[in-house]
Structure 1
Amino acid sequence: MGQRGSTQAEIRVLLLGLDNAGKSTLLYKLKHKSAFSTVPTVGFNVEMLDVKRQRKNIALTVWDVGGQAEMRRHWGGYHQDTAAVVFVVDSADRHRLDEARKELEKTLRSEQLRERPLLVLANKQDVAGAMTVTELKDAFNLRRICGEREWFVQACSAATGGGLDEALRRVSHMVKLPSDSAAAVKENIKGTVNYIRAKSVR
């Protein structure tokens, strides 16, 4: 792999969801554009995805953490320095919907993830009987649990690849780049200086 340019921002994204939601399949489909046979993730997988945002190259470092009950106890250890949360839901498994909602709510209460954007992926849309985006929004009561944070629900299928490019573009636009806050501070300083100059001329 060649050296990354100094202009490329590197952003950490946390990929969570219950076991069998399709997180690893989804991640490898995004990375390699082909289907992989996966086994339940014990621990985590890390992949880097290159995306563009307004002509700027962004490297999304995606941490895919196992979703088994024993692994969920360790999710909090991955919250630090996370710029966005991507939560994958098996939208064809209505029996575990309440379990998934509770885990998402618990995750969003983390102080380290405060105001971080959330992308919910309604995965397995290729399966008959899968919930729609609207059904998932209502079942998770996202307007209530997300509060002021930016959020979005994207229908997708890790098996077919449908909706994944849109999901990647969405998360790349939701994350705050390090330069975003720096530019805002610079603009504020510039505005203050101009205001002081204008006042002193009078």
Structure 2
Amino acid sequence: MGNIANKCKTKTSCVRRLRMLCDRLAWRETPRKIYMVGLSNAGKTSILYQYKFNEATTTVPTIGFNVESFSYKTISFTAWDFSGREQLRPLWRYYFDDTAAVIFVVDSASTVLMQEAAEVLHGLLKVHELKDVPFLVYVNKQDIPTCMSVDEVAEALQLNNIISHDVQVQGCCAQTGDGLYEGLDWLCKSIR
């Protein structure tokens, strides 16, 4: 401390030096890494852009992944949105490190793919690197009249049988944003 005092000729220069020191030492929260996965066309990218821009955007099928940063309440996130294409799913495992939470998106209007979605989800739940990571399951496209209900999807995915992870099921509509922030509220509480 004496070194700083010796360099301070005036009160103003001393205050400046202290601010610089505080800026260097300031704790900055590292963004939390969210891993967004699910089958193709489930709505992962639409949800990501609702988080980032708070509005519906036109998206194209993801080839590879998208990475976006956003903040919600007091938490900064870096979201990795991965393609749901079957041939690209083996690559997901290379990005598991330091994942704070998984968001698994299900297309509730696609009943024929529900078994495949269940297999993919339960496969992720067995991954050692994702042990102790909370899973938020978004049941998307709840605005479509012929969609499955949240309870029907939860049953089809066998979510009541999961005891290895903290899991939350949330109905949503990526296009309108309905249900997205309720899910994000739960996620924020789960990763603190």
Q: TM-score band, normalised by the shorter chain?
A: 0.7 to 0.9
RMSD of aligned Cα (Å): 1.5
**How far off is 1:21 after superposition?**
0.2
- Paired with 1:93 and 1:6, the residues of 2 have a C-alpha distance of 45
Deviations 1:172-200, CA, capped at 9 Å, x for gaps: 11114xxxxxxxxxxxxxxxxxxxxxxxx
Q: Which segments of 5 or more consecutive residues in structure 2 lack a partner in the other structure? A: 1-22
1:37 match: 58
1:8 CA displacement: 3.1
Q: Shift in Å at residue 98 of structure 1?
A: 0.4
Given that residues 55 and 176 in structure 2 are in contact (C-alpha distance below 8 angstroms), is that contact kept between their aligned partners in structure 1? no
Kindly state the Cα deviation for residue 9 of structure 1 after the two structures are TM-superposed.
Answer: 4.4
Counterpart check, 1:119 vs 2:140: no
Contact kept, 8 Å, 1:115 with 1:148, in 2: the verdict is yes
The AA in structure 2 aligned to 1:118 is: F
Alpha-carbon separation, structure 2, partners of 1:51 and 1:135: 30
Deviation at 1:154, TM superposition (A): 0.4
How many aligned residue pairs are there? 168
Q: Which residue of 1 aligns with 2:8?
A: none
The match for 2:187 is: 171
Larger Cα Rg: Structure 1 or Structure 2? 2
Contact 1:76 1:107 (C-alpha < 8 Å) held by counterparts:
no
Tell me what 2:14 maps to.
none
Letter in 2 for 1:88: V
**Range with greater deviation from structure 2 (84-93 or 30-39):** 30-39
Q: Which runs of 4+ in 1 moved over 4 A?
A: none
Alignment partner for residue 101 of structure 2, among 67, 84, 95?
84
Match of 2:4 in 1: none
Distance 1:173 1:132 in 2: 25
Matched, 1:72 2:108: no
State which drifts further: 17-26 or 159-168: 159-168
Aligned to 1:195: none
Contact 2:66 2:81 in 1 (8 A): yes
Structure 1 gap segments, 5+ residues each = 177-202
Where does residue 75 of structure 2 map in the other structure? 58
Distance 2:185 2:29 in 1: 16
Paired amino acid for 2:154: K
Q: TM-score, normalized by length of structure 2?
A: 0.83
CA distance in 2, matches of 1:40, 1:102: 22
Please report how far the alpha carbon of residue 35 of structure 1 lies from its aligned counterpart in structure 2 after TM superposition: 1.5
How big is each residue's C-alpha offset from its partner over 1:56-82, in whole Å with a ceiling of 9 and x where there is no partner? x21111110110111111111111111
Kindly provide the amino acid, as one letter, of the partner of residue 108 in structure 2. Answer: S
2:110 alignment counterpart = 93
1:2-21 CA-partner distances (Å, limit 9, x unpaired): x9x73434211100000000
Contact persistence 2:50–2:56 (CA under 8 A): yes
The DSSP-based 3-state class of the residue aligned with 1:27 is helix
Mapped to 1, the partners of 2:34 and 2:50 lie a distance apart of 16
Match of 1:147 in 2: 163
AA aligned to 1:93 is S
Letter in structure 2 aligned against 1:12: K
Q: Is the 8 A contact 1:155 1:163 kept in 2?
A: yes
**What amino acid sits opposite 1:82 in the alignment?**
T
Instruction: From 162, 173, 177, give the equivalent of 2:178.
Output: 162
Provide the secondary structure at the position in 2 that maps to 1:83. strand
State the percentage of identical aligned residues. 39
Which among 125, 129, 136 is matched to residue 108 of structure 1?
Answer: 125
